């Protein structure tokens, strides 16, 4: 099994020595390009140190490198010769001594990339006397035949401590072993070896064993067969179980809400330690709105024999002020300029509910709303109540509506559920068509259930995954005519990556689940499909409020058309809300690269289609096509699209920010 010792290299120690030996070169490597001209000025130049003068001096010799293109950036940046090129007092004899040591330095650098049998030739061509523009000491010529690259042929993980035999840790052991096999049959590099160790340790310490450590690691290189064998030995230590929850900094608001959110995240007393659940609890507490900052951790420094079986969860919070007023100015391509005033009260007198009220004024839309939310209960559900008055103008049609609702809701990262009782009342006035107007008696009462399931690899920048939303309602019209009706709405959003994937640091850390890493992004972008459908089933003469019916068109539905431009067309050309809705959108979203590096920008090509009708047979799609750009901003994707409506026969610009489903 084991080849002779001289054919192997214990690379864990070797590469540490190699990296240390090349550290000075890395720290002082200079750009091989010519230095910029000093700015012209009439004032005396400031005094400079010797090191600064050397850094600004023209290179004493040039470097010509002949090797694989993939190796040139590393070698030209880190070879030790680079740090001496700009020394003013470097002479020919000192350069000759540097050239003697250069092959060993280059061989060390090549070893970090898996090339252990390289042929290196270093020669020196003095400067010609008749060429005053050439470097003083001439040109150093380096020719490298790197030879065959070393390949990882095995990777094994060994366990000590509780994880070695614990039945509860079987899945965790298997996950680490599978993960260690991902780089088998791939080219060896020091960076890949370091990544394999850190990834394996992360999988150990994020579940059950936060005190786990690597006790031994070896990258065993056979330089004759160009094979690397990796060994990692882990010591898990004892498992850590969750104890009590301790909230620090809570004064104004009842800490029971934060404690419940910790438990609802899965950190119940006696449960296994989980970093993912701890981060989920921290995010949910932050999203509750009661705190400006939240930091959650498991206290591993408890004294006594039971410290591992009852490690407390500590949540440090900084409370938000009870009330907040926000004045806003904005705009959109849908509705033009926007003026808004928002008020939040985190603890209403007597009932202790949270209330968020909003007044929003736009060119064609006005909204006054108030949403109330009760503290979360033990089972994760909480009461919700809302009321809103709205007025919207669409060409010659003005729709005024009142909506009141009361129900309960339960939200999580992947699944939202809600059931509620809703009252709707609406009045529609069309200045040019009596048929498109109503008498103001359209009112309805309905019982509804909503369900939204999300499974995206990364939020708010998904690369793959899907989301499904469903709302069902049963109700009756009110007033002089009372007839039953049912409502159904379905939404679907899916992403499919194209081609291979690359390591992408831009979006690291935004993962919504351990099994869906955020740092693997498609090199060729992704396809996105959005579908939406709705139906209101009732007798043809049932006076359904327009707020229960459908219109579409605009930034987030069918681009190339204005907001709510697509509906049931009347004889006079006006548009009214309809009972059936169908919308589909297909996009190709592709990242934009600069000098081989992925940027925060993406290009988009899309086709949208949507239809509204009072009868399924009358659904006729209106299509919009276009292209645009996305910028992955800190607050989410910034959408900028130029669309052409094939039926409207006009171009429209559409702007939108954020990702929601």
């206290």: which residue's tokens? 299
State residue 176 phi and psi, 5-degree precision: -65, -35
pLDDT for res 441:
65
- Say if 428 falls within a structural domain: no
Give 73's pLDDT tier (boundaries 50, 70, 90): very high
Q: Give the model confidence (pLDDT) of 485-505 as tens digits.
A: 999 999 999 999 998 544 444
CB atoms within 10 A of CB 427: 20
Residue 124 near residue 140, CB atoms below 8 Å:
yes
Residue 44 covered by a domain: no
Q: Where does a domain end: 319, 345, 362?
A: 319
Q: Which residues of 382-409 are buried (b: 16+ CB within 10 A; e: fewer)?
A: bbbbbbbebebbbeebbbbbbbebebeb
Q: 241-286 pLDDT, tens per residue?
A: 999 999 999 999 999 999 999 999 999 999 999 999 999 999 999 9
Q: Please, which contacts does 627-632 make with residues 24 or more away whose CB atoms are closer than 8 Å?
A: 627/603, 628/603, 628/604, 628/654, 629/601, 629/602, 629/603, 629/604, 630/589, 630/601, 630/602, 630/603, 630/604, 631/600, 631/601, 631/602, 632/461, 632/506, 632/507, 632/600, 632/601, 632/602
Q: Which CATH number goes with the domain that contains 482?
A: 2.40.160.50
584: pLDDT confidence band, cut at 50, 70 and 90?
Answer: very high
Cβ atoms 604, 589 nearer than 8 A? yes
The residues near 480 (Cβ < 8 Å, ≥ 6 apart) are 441
Q: Do 205 and 281 belong to one domain? A: no
pLDDT at 6: 31
Does 498 map to a domain?
A: yes
Q: Which two tokens stand for residue 343?
A: 């008020």
pLDDT value, residue 573 = 76
| pLDDT value of residue 197 | 95
Say if residue 569 is in the same domain as residue 475.
yes
Determine the pLDDT at residue 435.
56
Do residues 477 and 580 both lie within one domain?
yes
In the predicted structure, residue 15 carries a pLDDT above the cut 60:
no
Task: Work out the average pLDDT over 584-590.
Answer: 96
% of the chain with per-residue pLDDT over 70? 85
Asked whether residue 527 is assigned to any structural domain, the reply reads yes
**Whether residues 256 and 369 fall in one domain:** no
Structure tokens that stand for 177 in this block:
């072993």
- The domain total for the chain is 5
Average pLDDT of the segment spanning 539-564:
92
Contact 199, 174 (CB under 8 A): no
Do residues 502 and 471 share a domain?
yes
Please state, in angstroms and rounded to a whole number, the distance separating the CA atoms of residues 608 and 529.
Answer: 10
- Tracing tokens 């579409």 back to the chain, one arrives at 552
Among 57-66, 127-136, 342-351, 401-410, whose mean pLDDT is lowest? 127-136
Residue 22 has pLDDT above 60, yes or no: no
What's the start-to-end Cα distance of the chain, in Å? 56
Whether residues 462 and 492 fall in one domain: yes
In a domain, 632, yes or no: yes
Q: Coil, strand, or helix at residue 571?
A: coil
Last residue in a domain, options 117, 145, 173: 145
Residue 175 has φ and ψ, to the nearest 5°, of -65, -45
- Which has the minimum average pLDDT: 300-314, 390-404, 576-590? 300-314
What residues does 610 pair with on adjacent strands?
A: 583, 622
Tell the residue number behind the tokens 């204005």, with chain if given: 562
According to the model, what pLDDT value does residue 46 have? 45
> pTM to 2 decimals?
0.73
Q: Where are the beta strands (DSSP E) in 236-290?
A: 242-248
Q: Kindly list the distances between the CA atom of residue 319 and the CA atoms of 288, 295, 438, 462, in Å, as whole numbers in the listed order.
A: 11, 12, 49, 32
Q: Which residue has the higher pLDDT, 519 or 653?
A: 653
Pairing of strands 227-235, 62-66: unpaired
What pLDDT does residue 29 have? 34
Q: Note whether residue 265 is domain-resident.
A: yes
Give, in degrees to the nearest 5, the angle at Cα 583 between 548 and 545: 10
DSSP 660: -
> Exposed, middle or buried by CB within 10 Å (0-12, 13-18, 19+), for 2?
exposed
Phi, psi of 77 (to 5 degrees): -85, -40
Identify whether residues 212 and 254 lie together within a single domain: no
Averaged pLDDT score across all residues of the chain: 85
Has residue 410 been placed in a domain?
A: no
Same domain, 117 and 157: no
Distances 341 to 344, 346, 411, 580 between C-alpha atoms, Å = 10, 17, 27, 34
Same domain, 502 and 644: yes
* Same domain, yes or no: 468 and 516: yes
DSSP for 169-187 reads GHHHHHHHHHHHTTTTTSB
Cα dihedral 128, 130, 133, 134 in deg (nearest 10): 0
326 plus 313 within the same structural domain? no
Buried b (16+ CB within 10 A) or exposed e, 157-190: bebebbbeebeebeebbebbbebbeebeeeebbb
Average pLDDT over residues 572-590: 92
Other CB atoms within 10 Å distance of the CB of residue 601: 14
Q: Which domain holds residue 281?
A: 242-319
Q: Examine residue 401 and state whether it is found in any structural domain, yes or no.
A: no
- What pLDDT does residue 189 have? 93
Q: Is the dihedral of CA 149, 150, 154, 157 positive or negative?
A: negative
Residue 188 has pLDDT above 80, yes or no: yes
Check which CATH number belongs to the domain holding 257 and give it. 3.10.20.310
Last residue of a domain, one of 319, 341, 364: 319
CA distance 115 to 472: 63
In this structure, are 184 and 160 located in the same domain? yes
């Amino acid at each position: 099994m084991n080849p002779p010792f001289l054919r192997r290299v214990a690379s864990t120690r070797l590469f540490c020595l190699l990296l240390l030996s090349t550290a000075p070169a890395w720290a002082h490597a200079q750009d091989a390009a010519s230095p910029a001209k000093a700015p012209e000025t009439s004032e005396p130049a400031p005094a400079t140190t010797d090191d600064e003068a050397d850094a600004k001096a023209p290179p004493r010799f040039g470097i010509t490198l002949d090797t694989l293109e993939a190796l040139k950036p590393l070698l030209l940046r880190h070879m030790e010769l680079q740090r001496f090129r700009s020394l003013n007092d470097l002479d020919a004899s000192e350069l000759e001594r540097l050239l003697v040591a250069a092959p060993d330095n280059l061989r060390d650098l090549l070893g970090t990339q898996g090339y252990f049998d390289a042929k290196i030739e270093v020669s020196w061509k003095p400067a010609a006397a008749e060429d005053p523009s050439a470097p003083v000491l001439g040109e150093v010529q380096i020719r490298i035949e790197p030879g065959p690259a070393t390949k990882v042929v095995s990777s094994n993980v060994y366990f000590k401590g509780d994880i070695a035999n614990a039945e509860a840790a079987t899945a965790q052991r298997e996950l680490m072993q599978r993960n260690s096999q991902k780089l088998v049959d791939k080219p060896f590099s020091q960076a890949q070896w370091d990544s394999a160790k850190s990834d394996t340790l992360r999988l150990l310490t994020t579940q059950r064993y936060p005190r786990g450590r690597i006790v031994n690691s070896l990258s065993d290189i056979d330089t004759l067969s160009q094979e690397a064998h990796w060994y990692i030995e882990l010591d898990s230590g004892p498992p850590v179980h969750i104890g009590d929850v301790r909230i620090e900094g809570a004064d104004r608001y009842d800490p029971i809400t934060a404690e419940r959110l910790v438990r609802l995240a899965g950190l119940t007393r006696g449960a296994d330690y989980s970093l993912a659940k701890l981060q989920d609890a921290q995010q949910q507490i932050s999203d509750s709105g009661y705190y400006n900052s939240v930091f959650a951790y498991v206290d591993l420094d408890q004294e006594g024999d039971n410290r591992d079986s009852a490690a407390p969860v500590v949540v440090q919070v900084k409370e938000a002020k009870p009330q907040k007023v926000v004045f806003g100015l904005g705009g959109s391509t849908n509705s033009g300029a926007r003026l808004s005033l928002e008020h939040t009260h985190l603890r209403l007198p007597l009932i202790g509910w949270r209330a968020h009220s909003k007044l929003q004024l736009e060119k064609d839309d006005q909204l006054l709303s108030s949403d109330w939310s009760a503290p979360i209960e033990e089972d994760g559900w909480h009461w919700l109540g809302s009321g809103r008055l709205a007025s919207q103008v669409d060409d010659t049609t003005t729709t005024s509506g009142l909506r009141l609702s009361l129900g309960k809701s339960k939200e999580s990262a992947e699944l939202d559920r809600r059931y509620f009782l809703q009252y709707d009342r609406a009045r529609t006035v069309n200045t040019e068509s009596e048929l498109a107007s109503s008498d103001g008696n359209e009112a309805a009462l309905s019982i509804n259930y909503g369900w939204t399931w999300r499974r995206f690899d990364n939020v708010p920048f998904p690369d793959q995954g899907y989301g499904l939303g469903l709302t069902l309602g049963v109700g009756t019209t009110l007033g002089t005519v009372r007839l039953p009706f049912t409502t159904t709405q379905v939404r679907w959003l899916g992403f499919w990556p194209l081609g291979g994937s690359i390591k992408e640091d831009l979006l690291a850390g935004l993962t919504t689940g351990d099994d869906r890493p955020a740092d693997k992004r498609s090199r060729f972008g992704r396809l996105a499909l959005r579908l939406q459908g709705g139906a209101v089933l009732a007798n043809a003469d049932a006076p359904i409020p327009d707020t229960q019916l459908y219109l579409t068109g605009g930034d987030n539905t069918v681009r190339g058309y204005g907001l709510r431009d697509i509906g049931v067309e009347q004889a006079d050309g006006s548009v009214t809300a309809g009972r059936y809705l169908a919308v589909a959108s297909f996009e190709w979203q592709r990242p934009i690269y600069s000098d081989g590096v992925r940027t925060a920008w993406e290009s988009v090509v899309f086709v949208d289609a949507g239809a509204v009708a009072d009868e399924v047979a009358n659904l006729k799609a209106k299509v919009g096509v276009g292209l645009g750009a996305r910028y992955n901003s800190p607050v989410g994707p910034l959408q900028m699209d130029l669309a052409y409506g094939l039926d409207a026969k006009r171009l429209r610009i559409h702007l939108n920010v954020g990702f929601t489903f």
